[in-house]
């Protein structure tokens, strides 16, 4: 059984790995975190009024309205992270920001 100093060392290693992973995730975002949060809120509001049509049309509308220039890059990033449609973005991508 590891002693107290070994447990602390292991905890520090895990904390460092988590911090590095978080920094890497943040640095690879195609738009700022706040815009993602605004997107999630927008989708949450819109999808309470109507069902997902298995496209990302609401997301495209939001990105266009928000004057995001790299729409294709953002959509590709969302898809790579499980957001193939508007409800998938809420279900799979939003949780990665928590």
Residues 46 and 80 in one domain: yes
> What is the number of structural domains in the chain?
2
> Is the pTM for the entire model greater than 0.85?
no
Residues 48 and 26 in one domain: no
Domain containing 53: what range?
33-97
Q: What is the pLDDT of residues 7-23, one digit of tens each?
A: 888 888 787 788 876 77
Place of tokens 């999630």: 40
The pLDDT value given to residue 75 = 97
The pLDDT value given to residue 18 = 80
Residues 45 and 68 in one domain: yes
Residue pair 59/39 in contact by the 8 Å Cβ criterion: yes
Residues 26 and 37 in one domain: no
Q: What is the pLDDT of residues 64-91, one digit of tens each?
A: 999 999 999 999 999 999 999 999 999 9
Model confidence at 6, pLDDT cuts 50, 70, 90, reads confident
């Amino acid at each position: 059984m590891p002693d107290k100093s070994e447990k602390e060392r292991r905890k520090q290693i895990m904390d460092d790995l988590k911090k590095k992973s978080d920094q890497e995730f943040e640095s690879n975002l195609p738009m700022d975190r706040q815009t993602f949060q605004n997107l999630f809120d927008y989708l949450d509001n819109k999808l309470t009024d109507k069902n997902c049509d298995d496209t990302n049309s609401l997301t495209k509308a939001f990105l266009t309205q928000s004057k995001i220039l790299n729409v294709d890059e953002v959509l590709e990033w969302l898809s790579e992270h499980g957001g193939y449609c508007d409800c998938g973005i809420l279900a799979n991508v939003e949780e990665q920001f928590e």
